[in-house]
Structure 1
Amino acid sequence: MSGYSWGQFALGLPVTGAASLAVLLATFAVAVRKGVHRIVDAAWGFAFTAVALVSYGMSTGEGDPGRRLLVTALTCLWGLRLATHIVRRGRGHGEDPRYEALLAKAPGSRSLYALRMVYLLQAGLVWLVSLPVQAAMYVRADLGPLVWAGVLLWGVGFVFEAVGDRQLRRFKVDPANRGAVMDRGLWSWTRHPNYFGDFCVWWGLFLLVCDAPGAAAATVVSPLVMSFLLIRGSGKALLERHMSGRPGYSDYVARTSGFVPLPPRRPRT
């Protein structure tokens, strides 16, 4: 742990937390005005971008300049692509059924319930999941094999996420596919190429801090939390419950890997 700027890293934590909170509170204000809370999904990517930029500024003169620039660029590229995709996807649509169902349970004010259960929670999750990004800014070691392994894993994830989203968007805009299950391209190898992509992105970013073993041990909780969210939480598990009754979905499940990309299975006879 010698040589790592633990004090400066700790000083940056409340500032990055404030940055994440500011993005989510601003989004909350816009959502209340519009009466649609689905826009919070786009704020997820913008908040990670804000945290990375604040961390970069706070770490000036502390960590290796190349590592700082690299982790900032990778995080911002991922976050801005995701946010732009979600904004485009939601344009012209009403409330997301997930948030409609959640807000139907509000014991009082729907807005205050949304603030507590969605916006503040997501602000905290952004801060927690981004800890490896923040910690990597203070690693003084030169760029080594672990960094390039992380960049490669990040690249695999980014391609899966971006290509999977593009394939699904093109599938949905074709009226002939209304009500059908997307089972082409990457979606024939995994039922969730976008979530698998996120998984790789965040484990890749975690590798960028692993040249400082103490910092890696302190922040490994972050990719573990993201993995849980993607597989067991609000990602794969929630979406599959929503899709379970759609015609043809059970056959799709039977022949397609649930998460890790694998060749499609032959249908049983």
Structure 2
Amino acid sequence: MNGTAWDATAWAGLAVNLGVTAATAVTVLLATFAVALRRRLHRIVDIAWGLAFGAVAAVTWLLSAGQGDDGRRLLVTAATVLWGLRLAAHIARRSRGHGEDPRYTALLDKAPGNRTRYALRTVYLGQAALVWLVSLPVQAAAYSPEPLGALAFCGIGLWALGLGFEAVGDHQLARFKADPANRGRIMDRGLWAWTRHPNYFGDSLVWWGLYLFACTAWQPALATLVSPVLMTLLLTVGSGKRLLEKHMEGRPGYAAYAARTSGFLPLPPRRGALPPHGR
């Protein structure tokens, strides 16, 4: 971070971009809402989560042409789109053939009044707002005139590590579940032996990495800090880790797994708490 101030042109361009990307996020989630109503399946909103980030990044890249540094614009856009498409594809494969997600069933069962309007307001428009807010570093980075520097390269390294954790963790879990011999068992192998949530941990690293792209001056760095902080909170105490562990806590063997395995940050399994067969 060079500590210099952004000029008025960069702020003006970003201000216009913020309005257009807000409309973009809402459009993607409204289209998803229409498909969900037609299919009577709200879980497809999870697929739209990654796609909405990709759409915001692509629109930002188009709007920022001629304003921000081309290398920074291209790299932050490609990183966001790749992350979003991988996540959307993974969730689509995982969800194929399944009914409604119990999380959405439980949420809508508590709806005060019309379930459809409640789903629109809390699930779809709520996620559109989160997409816009979390993507602030991606939008700000595209308007920075600074060429790629040390922080940007640290950012892409952190992003790559996070994407790797997320993708490998998802792949390991999918293979584990595909084996009939593992039915009813707790996944505690590979990355899952070091953290109970390698995918969520990786997701957090991705967004801290993207945040570093916006740290070309103290003003955008400070203005967009809310984004990686918010994403990390969503993954740990929001709708990610907390809800999943609440769902898993009654499963046989889960208490022992939780006792020996870090809840978020990857750490070696606690000594003396390994399963008898040494998995």
Give TM-score scaled by structure 2 length.
0.95
Deviating runs (4+, > 4 A) in structure 1?
none
* Superposition map of 1:94-243 within 5 A: 94-243=99-248
1:83 is aligned to 2:78: no
In structure 1, C-alpha distance between the alignment counterparts of 2:203 and 2:168, rounded to whole Å:
12
Q: Is the 8 A contact 1:45 1:78 kept in 2?
A: yes
Post-superposition Cα deviations, 1:172-227, rounded to whole Å, max 9, x if no partner, equal: 11111111110001000100000000000000000011112211111101111111
SS at match of 1:39: helix
CA 60–106 in structure 1, closer or farther in 2 if over 3 Å, else same: same
**How far did residue 268 of structure 1 move?**
4.8
Cα distance in 1, alignment partners of residues 98 and 270 from structure 2: 35
Q: In the alignment, is the contact (CA less than 8 A) between 2:6 and 2:219 conserved in 1?
A: no
For these two proteins, the number of residue pairs brought into alignment is: 269
Matched, 1:67 2:72: yes
In the alignment, structure 1 residue 7 sits paired with structure 2 residue 48: no
1:43 paired with 2:52, answer: no
Report the Cα distance in structure 1 between the residues aligned to 2:185 and 2:105, rounded to whole angstroms. 24
Aligned counterparts of 1:136 and 1:197: Cα–Cα separation in 2: 21
Unaligned runs of 5+ residues in structure 1 are: none
Name the % identity: 66
| Aligned counterparts of 1:2 and 1:130: Cα–Cα separation in 2 | 19
Question: CA offsets, 1:227-265, max 9 Å, x none?
Answer: 110111001111111111110001101111111111111
1:23 aligns with 2:31: no
| Displacement of 1:108 | 2.6
SS in 2 for 1:80: helix
- Structure 1 distance, partners of 2:53, 2:62, is 14
CA RMSD in angstroms comes to: 1.1
TM norm structure 1: 0.98
- Whether contact under 8 Å (1:24, 1:43) holds in the other structure is yes
